[in-house]
């Protein structure tokens, strides 16, 4: 096998009807162990890659997340062993920034910390290990594991993810001739194309019913309405919750509640592709060279969480979450630094301050990263622990 397109084509040829679900296509395009987008060595995230995430705005994001970790450690009674399990850690930026912040601001929390990273990509794992080696050398407990390797009910702490669930493979579905069909992937010559076909599993319709959605023309849905169903998110939250003995699940991502996700006006769905810092909605091109995402249906995580004894602690926009954790104080301090710098500092220092201020504003912008959702769920918490407000969910001061 020489490349990803050949690997996917072979999977199609070997299938009974010479077609595969889009979920299977997306799984291979992103996670094929040899040729998948996330398995490919090189910079795929950040200024030189295809997209930028919150950690690339500077160290502030990871530091503020660390403030929430420390607050959770306090809320749990300062356990002697406090585990953060980060899933899909990218280049390890949050981990590095969070550990550095804990060392300088919450050293006792750092002493209790075990940092587990769950990462499927060999290329990203290698980059994480290189970035975090200095902390391991200083005695910080950091290890890499799969979810399958972690024993059930062993984690006291926080399971954390940032922009992970949006990259789970989704089933691509459409309302066609007043009937719900699935868009499958096949070959036309050497090109991948989508074709309508029957639903690959009854779980798709069951999932829609479960989150209270009826895709029917009678409810205002237009003909050829296109959307997605993320069945993988259900099994993921099940696995994550299973590993936790006591603590929190902190999920940050872009998405909506089910009612907004499946709004009739969102007729093209939420599927997006990122290729060289531009985005489009054709996932069947640039195979293995572009990121493919779909917005998160937070209702799925909340409802499934309730069924498996997770307590919803809170849901808030990222902008408000980070402001509550201290970003507002950082903006105020920068404003004061700017005033002083106009008289005392060099032009370069002033420019650096303004660039950092812009980065902080991007983290809370309601038109971008600030509109991401932050969902916090708890497991096996006492009523007192549930009643104690987490710092990131308090109302931030206005600046």
**Domain-wise residue ranges, the chain:** 4-47+167-241+245-306
Tell me what pLDDT residue 2 has: 79
Tell me what pLDDT residue 376 has: 98
Mean pLDDT across the stretch 221-235? 97
**Separation CA 399–CA 360 (nearest Å):** 13
**Separation CA 64–CA 59 (nearest Å):** 9
Mean pLDDT across the stretch 94-110? 97
Q: Are the CB atoms for 45 and 73 separated by under 8 Å?
A: no
Cα 364 from chain centroid (whole Å): 17
Quick one: pLDDT band at residue 245, thresholds 50, 70, 90? very high
Query: Is pLDDT of 117 > 90?
Result: yes
Q: Check residue 48 and report its DSSP letter.
A: T
Structural tokens at position 103:
């060392």
Quick one: pLDDT band at residue 399, thresholds 50, 70, 90? very low
Rounded percentage of the chain residues whose pLDDT exceeds 70: 88
**Separation CA 79–CA 344 (nearest Å):** 46
Tell me what pLDDT residue 237 has: 98
Query: Is pLDDT of 197 > 50?
Result: yes
Mean pLDDT of the chain: 90
Does 4-47+167-241+245-306 carry CATH code 3.40.50.12710? yes
Tell me what pLDDT residue 43 has: 43
**Which of the two residues, 352 and 291, has the higher pLDDT score?**
291
Q: pTM surpassing 0.85?
A: yes
Query: Is pLDDT of 208 > 90?
Result: yes
Q: Which stretch of 66-70, 115-119, 325-329, 347-351 has the lowest confidence by average pLDDT?
A: 347-351
Tell me what pLDDT residue 48 has: 53
**Separation CA 363–CA 386 (nearest Å):** 28
Quick one: pLDDT band at residue 364, thresholds 50, 70, 90? confident
Mean pLDDT across the stretch 159-170? 97
**Separation CA 83–CA 79 (nearest Å):** 10
Query: Is pLDDT of 41 > 90?
Result: no
Mean pLDDT across the stretch 147-173? 97
Tell me what pLDDT residue 361 has: 66
Q: Check residue 268 and report its DSSP letter.
A: T
Question: DSSP alpha helices (H): ranges in 244-327?
Answer: 258-261, 298-307, 318-322
Tell me what pLDDT residue 311 has: 97
Quick one: pLDDT band at residue 263, thresholds 50, 70, 90? very high
Query: Is pLDDT of 347 > 70?
Result: no
Quick one: pLDDT band at residue 28, thresholds 50, 70, 90? very high
């Amino acid at each position: 096998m020489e490349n990803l397109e050949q690997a996917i084509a072979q999977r199609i040829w070997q299938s009974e009807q010479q077609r595969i679900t889009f979920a299977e296509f997306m799984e291979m395009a992103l996670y094929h162990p040899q040729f998948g987008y996330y398995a490919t060595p090189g910079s795929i995230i950040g200024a030189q890659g295809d997209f930028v995430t919150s950690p690339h705005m500077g160290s502030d994001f990871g530091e503020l997340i660390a403030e929430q970790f420390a607050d959770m450690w306090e809320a749990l009674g300062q356990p002697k062993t406090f585990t953060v399990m980060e899933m899909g850690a990218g280049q390890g930026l949050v981990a590095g920034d969070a550990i550095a912040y804990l060392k300088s601001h919450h050293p006792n929390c750092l002493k209790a910390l075990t940092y587990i990273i769950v990462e499927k990509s060999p290329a990203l794992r290698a980059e994480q290990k290189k970035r975090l080696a200095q902390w391991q050398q200083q005695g910080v407990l950091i290890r890499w594991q799969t979810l399958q390797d972690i024993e059930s009910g062993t984690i006291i702490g926080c399971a954390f993810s940032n922009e992970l669930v949006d990259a789970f493979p989704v089933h691509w579905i459409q309302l066609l001739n007043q009937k719900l069909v699935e868009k499958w992937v096949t070959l036309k010559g050497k090109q991948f194309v989508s074709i309508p076909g029957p639903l690959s599993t009854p779980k798709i319709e069951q999932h829609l019913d479960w989150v209270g959605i009826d895709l029917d023309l009678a409810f205002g849905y237009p003909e050829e309405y296109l959307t997605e169903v993320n069945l993988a998110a259900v099994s993921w939250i099940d696995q994550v919750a299973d590993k936790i003995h006591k603590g929190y699940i902190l999920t940050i991502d872009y998405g909506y509640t089910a009612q907004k996700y499946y709004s009739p006006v969102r007729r093209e769905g939420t599927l997006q592709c990122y290729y060289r810092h531009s985005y489009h909605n054709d996932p069947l091109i640039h195979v293995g060279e572009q990121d493919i995402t779909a917005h998160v249906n937070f209702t799925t995580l909340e409802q499934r969480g309730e069924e498996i004894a997770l307590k919803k602690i809170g849901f808030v926009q990222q902008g408000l979450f980070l402001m509550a954790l201290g970003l507002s104080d950082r903006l105020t301090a920068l404003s004061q630094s700017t005033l002083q710098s106009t008289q005392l500092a060099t032009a370069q220092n002033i420019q650096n301050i303004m660039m950092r201020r812009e980065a902080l504003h991007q983290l809370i912008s309601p038109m971008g990263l600030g509109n991401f959702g932050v969902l916090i769920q708890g497991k096996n918490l006492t009523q007192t622990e549930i009643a104690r407000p987490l710092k990131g969910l308090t109302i931030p001061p206005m600046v």
